Chain A
Amino acid sequence: QKEVEQDPGPLSVPEGAIVSLNCTYSNSAFQYFMWYRQYSRKGPELLMYTYSSGNKEDGRFTAQVDKSSKYISLFIRDSQPSDSATYLCAMKAAGNKLTFGGGTRVLVKP
């Protein structure tokens, strides 16, 4: 079993819809959680990070962490075609090693 599980998608939504992305994890030592966006043939781009249970908002993006369920989510409001990309969750315990999910491919249709 992988330490971090993420549905590969693809997830197809109409423009303006809410995109909902999830990751589950098994390692209770993970304390810090990140979301990255990766466009085709580009490096991952850090969107958000959080380290506490609850919600964190940044513009159209909301990150949610539930440590008791070992479950994290990313919501994208008012989705745009430019949001079409692969979204990667990543997490770490103490230290610097990031453990990534497999990524979810998102397609926002105009």
Chain B
Amino acid sequence: SAVISQKPSRDICQRGTSLTIQCQVDSQVTMMFWYRQQPGQSLTLIATANQGSEATYESGFVIDKFPISRPNLTFSTLTVSNMSPEDSSIYLCSVAKSYNEQFFGPGTRLTVL
């Protein structure tokens, strides 16, 4: 498996501000992902964080709103920019240790007022 930590674990933010979420893994991994879990809903993939290149975004998600960094094989950040109440959600970091095994971090619970 993988030990994944996220910071912050939760935050309450004002509309129009930005929040950067950090994800740290205990071992080097090639594939890191960012998911969103909106209240009462399932997980949706935002983007794949690629080391050394730009992130690959899923339909409906754009770099200006969710810029991602991946400076090395154990760390990534997701920024939620110009937040609105609709961005209130749980944001989860995930890593792939093998083709069929994806492990998730504990999540960051974001509330936007």
Contacts and interface: CB of A to CB of B under 8 A. Distances in A.
Interface residues of A, number: 21
B48 interface: yes
B99 to A, nearest CB: 8
Interface in B73-103: 92, 96, 99-103
Interface size class of B (residues with CB under 8 A): 20 to 34
Contact of B33 (A34, A46, A90, A96): A96
Contacts of B105: 43
Nearest to A50: B100
B102 A43 contact: no
Contact of A32 (B1, B4, B100, B106): B100
B32 to A, nearest CB: 10
A78 to B, nearest CB: 24
Main secondary structure of the interface of B (DSSP, over half): strand
A43 B92 contact: yes
Contacts of B48: 96-97
Contacts of A88: 42-43
B23 to A, nearest CB: 11
Nearest to B97: A46
Interface of A: 6, 32, 34, 36, 41-46, 49, 51, 88, 90, 96-98, 100-103
The 3 closest A-B pairs by CB, nearest first: A43-B104, A100-B42, A102-B42
5 contacts: A34-B102, A36-B104, A51-B100, A96-B48, A102-B42
Given A96-B96, A100-B43, 16 more contacts: A34-B100, A34-B102, A36-B104, A41-B107, A41-B109, A44-B43, A46-B101, A46-B103, A49-B100, A88-B42, A88-B43, A90-B43, A97-B45, A98-B102, A100-B44, A102-B42
